Structure 1
């Protein structure tokens, strides 16, 4: 069985569109079926890249994928909601629409807006965006079915599964240290997991 894998390329690991294109080519050469590129900078004083600069990076990513002649789903992430952009909810929504439309025109297949979990706002954004919209599930927030009904094309779990797995591992480690035993109901057989990472017969 072949399972498509999307590569989270963060900001492209490069400062220029050409550098982003090189990163995209490397990811696709390793078999990635999808690419995630974001406009976050990680800098509190300037949390988002300029929209026109991100458009150039997305165009370069799309051109690199097309030149290789391989299908590649390009998911353009904008951190307008995670960063708390703008002074009002209306400002944040307008900027997300502006960036999202530009990113779709630059060649993105969808716009990913983590941090947006309010169904009415999601519905409005999808209508104004005019293209596929991906969001991220937040523990304690609306479930994936509600988000999909509100207009999301894709719902990501983000780091939730990874963090839950780490939390479970930490709990078991503490139990083993204190009691000398491990309670592991639901644990997968070793052979099953090993098979996931083994090469398929030619």
Structure 2
């Protein structure tokens, strides 16, 4: 079994090598085993995927910190890969809430995690600049010198505030506060992503699969992106297959969906102990 320190070093080194790498988002231990077995080098949890798997909407506060960390713990235990976690907004407005969340994340063997600057308040969806920076600084101080890579997220573009200048200023301040990876979901085009990357001094994460433009790994690497995640889109792809299969039975009375399903033997092989992350 690979130690947390070894996983952290592997994860850190992925951000230092040339080009971009893809870090997909499993939502269960089983999906983590499959993705690890296929050859991905690191994984990240998804709060949206978890929410949908337990019958909840993906909304601020819909899932507790305990639920998020329990799911992450299952994923960490399932495979021998570095795992980073979607830690939402740190589960509280105060800097100390972010500290507690980061500490608990490290305690279960996570080697990375992201903190957002969202409030959960529709009237004021983004934390004021100074408080947002204070929260990231507190998180960074908690994991300083520890095997944990902190990602800071600026959520303007997915909260109805398409302000690239403010997004860049926030991420620059988050970097100065100690964040090691920077992330602004929802940027509208490659030019905006390239501008963001040029103005930042840390690796940049971009999420794909949310809909809209379908840029390739090489497209994103050319803009300066280092890491690409898929958010809840793999979970939604699985749910889409379920809906199509169910509708085929209800509407046509046929079962051809099974032609595209994994066989029982294939699924069992993916779940065999020691397969994920040991290609």
Q: TM-score normalized by structure 2? A: 0.63
1:139 to 211, 220, 231: 211
Q: Report Cα offsets for 1:175-201 as digits up to 9, x if no partner.
A: 3455263524251623224326999xx
Contact 2:98 2:138 survives alignment (8 Å): yes
Q: Which moved more, 1:140-149 or 1:17-26?
A: 140-149
Q: CA 1:117–1:135 in 2, change beyond 3 Å: closer, same or farther?
A: farther
Distance 2:161 2:146 in 1: 35
Q: Which moved more, 1:46-55 or 1:100-109?
A: 46-55
Q: Which moved more, 1:95-104 or 1:122-131?
A: 122-131
Q: CA 1:164–1:151 in 2, change beyond 3 Å: closer, same or farther?
A: same
Following superposition, the deviation at residue 139 of structure 1 comes to 3.3
- Size of the alignment, in residue pairs? 192
**Correspondences of 1:61-80 after superposition (within 5 Å):** 61-66=139-144, 70-80=146-156
Q: Which residue of 1 aligns with 2:241?
A: 168
Q: Do structure 1's residue 85 and structure 2's residue 161 form an aligned pair?
A: yes
Unaligned runs of 5+ in 1: 87-91
List, as ranges, runs of 4+ consecutive aligned residues in structure 1 with deviation greater than 4 Å: 196-199
Contact 2:84 2:111 survives alignment (8 Å): yes
Contact 1:24 1:64 survives alignment (8 Å): yes
SS of residue paired to 2:157? coil
Which structure has the higher relative contact order (CA within 8 Å, separation 6+)?
Answer: 2
Following superposition, the deviation at residue 130 of structure 1 comes to 2.9
Q: TM-score normalized by structure 1? A: 0.84
Instruction: Pick the structure with greater CA Rg.
Output: 1
Following superposition, the deviation at residue 167 of structure 1 comes to 0.8
Unaligned runs of 5+ in 2: 1-78
Following superposition, the deviation at residue 145 of structure 1 comes to 2.0
Contact 2:95 2:138 survives alignment (8 Å): yes
Q: Identify, as 1 or 2, the structure richer in strand.
A: 1
Distance 1:23 1:139 in 2: 30
